[in-house]
Amino acid sequence: MSSVVKIYALFIGSALLMFGGGLQGLLLSVRGAEEGFSLLALGLIGTGWSVGFMAGSLTVPRMVQKVGHVRAYSVMAAVGTVTILLNLLLINDVSWILLRALSGFCFAGAAMIVESWLNEVSDNRSRGTIFSIYTAINLAASTLGQLAMSVTGTAGYVPFVVGAISFICALVPSAMTSTPQPRPMSSAKIDLGLLYRTSPVAVIASFSVGMANGAFGTLAPVFGYARGMTAANIAFLFSVTIMLGAIGQIPFGRLSDRFDRRMVLIALGGIAALAGSLMLVFNPPEGVLLYFLFGLYGFAAYSIYAIAVAHANDFAKEGEFGRVAGGMLLVLGIGLAIGPAVASWLMSALGEVALFVVTTTFHGLVAVFAFLRMRIRPIRDATGRVRFRPMATGSAKSTPQTIALDPRSDEDKPDQETHDVQGRP
């Protein structure tokens, strides 16, 4: 905990970053619908975010190596601030798609720098605590950002300015902290062939989660708007979904540590597919049933990816964690980029409720494929399995530096040296 106290400034910066990101993501979907953007354009806004996030994850480390962490972080925060203000000045679909990609790029870069800093000041004894607190803070701040839309509304300039203030204020804690800058960032190595050989279930689950949750995260606010919900109620609906998703990771994660993780994936995929199917059957207006089904969806769907990662690591050989986790991030990102575009096309053709055709299909695929693999591959002995770790829910939030911060990466690297303020060992 002493390590946590020393880096409180980084946690504050990350919280401000996630607050603005939560507000911006929900705001653009609802405001875009109010402005009359087509469903395809709204889907491509979500795709733009994922493409920009992946690009930032791959290229920002080289930028940091050239100019340093503080300067690079300042650039990310400044450009992110400008981006959300340009969303206000350029209200048209093409501009928002391009700006959303730029926002994703900046968000990935800023998050990677913070995570790299956190990893530098942690060691094998404190990394688990730091990882858990970091995940909890990000989740809480993102949820508060979404709830803020219930106060700011979506009309006018206020919500955009609030988001911009949050982004630029995220720069202050890192600029003022005395914590030494970390060493050069390391990128996650990508090896999809290794990932598939390690766990086909993990590949299918990661892609399916990206397709389903990417579509849901981008277009479910549009679904709520089509139901005549106010901005405040849409924000509350999403907050309930995410919070139940976070809560669900605790019992499901423990179950996956005790039993075959594929059995848990079958259950979660089945429950999420059931929630989507009931949405298709009843197509409920705003009311108790809508909140219940959204909550049921979040409770099941947002736990799948973390369990899939744990399952892949059960079969990963020593020293392969980074490459396996990097492959999982890439597969997830591909799904996150494609899902919103596919869902928007279906919604244009079949109506807003067709969003749940995508979620039902891909969550059902997780359950079916995991069931088939159980008939082929035996369960891994409990003594050779890693411990489940909760992960942030929702859309793309993980970066290669999240892998370095994850306690399960301890086996891949030696204990880090401690450095003084000047960076001397």
- The residue to which tokens 């504050």 are assigned: 12
**CB-based contacts of 111: which residues, under 8 Å, 6+ apart?**
14, 17, 397, 399, 401, 402
Nearest in space to 402 (alpha carbons), one of 111, 20, 64:
111
Number of domains in the chain: 1
Residue 422 domain-assigned?
no
Tokens of 172: 């202050």
Residue 419 domain-assigned?
no
Residue 229 domain-assigned?
yes
CA distance readout (Å), 39 to 34, 113, 277, 283, 372:
12, 34, 21, 18, 35
Q: Are 271 and 354 in contact (CB under 8 A)?
A: no
Q: Give the whole-angstrom CA distance, residue 330 versus residue 350.
A: 30
Q: Are 10 and 179 in contact (CB under 8 A)?
A: yes
CA atoms within 13 A on the CB side of 291: 12
Q: 44: domain range?
A: 2-411
Q: Work out the end-to-end distance of the chain between its first and last CA atoms, rounded to an integer number of angstroms.
A: 22
Phi, psi of 210 (to 5 degrees): -60, -45
Q: Are 114 and 397 in contact (CB under 8 A)?
A: no
Residue 202 domain-assigned?
yes
Residue 424 domain-assigned?
no
In the chain, the amino acid numbered 323 is: R
Q: Give the whole-angstrom CA distance, residue 125 versus residue 253.
A: 22
**Residue 176 pLDDT:** 74
Tokens of 274: 């059931």
In the chain, the amino acid numbered 10 is: L
Q: Are 229 and 362 in contact (CB under 8 A)?
A: no
Query: What CATH number is attached to the domain comprising 244?
Result: 1.20.1250.20
Q: Is the dihedral of CA 83, 88, 90, 91 positive or negative?
A: positive
**CB-based contacts of 32: which residues, under 8 Å, 6+ apart?**
41, 42, 45, 93, 96, 222
**CB-based contacts of 245: which residues, under 8 Å, 6+ apart?**
298, 299, 301, 302, 303, 393, 394
**Residue 45 pLDDT:** 93
Q: Is the dihedral of CA 159, 163, 168, 172 positive or negative?
A: positive
b/e for 300-334, b at 16 or more Cβ within 10 A? Answer: bbbbbbbbbbbbbbbbbeeebbbbbbbbbbbbbbb
Distance from the Cα of residue 318 to its chain's centroid: 26
Nearest in space to 40 (alpha carbons), one of 218, 304, 242:
218
CA distance readout (Å), 31 to 69, 122, 225, 226:
34, 41, 9, 12
Residue 105 domain-assigned?
yes
**Residue 178 pLDDT:** 67
**Residue 421 pLDDT:** 35
pLDDT tens digit at each of 425 positions of the chain: 555 555 777 788 888 988 999 899 999 999 999 999 999 999 999 999 989 988 887 788 788 878 877 788 888 888 889 999 999 999 999 999 999 999 989 888 888 787 777 777 766 566 666 776 777 788 888 889 999 998 988 888 999 999 999 999 988 887 776 666 666 665 556 667 777 887 889 899 989 999 999 999 899 999 999 888 998 899 999 889 988 888 888 888 888 888 888 999 999 999 999 999 999 999 998 889 999 999 999 999 988 988 888 888 777 766 666 667 677 878 888 898 899 999 999 999 999 999 999 999 999 999 999 999 888 776 655 555 666 666 666 555 667 667 666 665 655 454 444 343 333 33
Q: Give the whole-angstrom CA distance, residue 295 versus residue 241.
A: 5
Residue 193 domain-assigned?
yes
Residue 120 domain-assigned?
yes
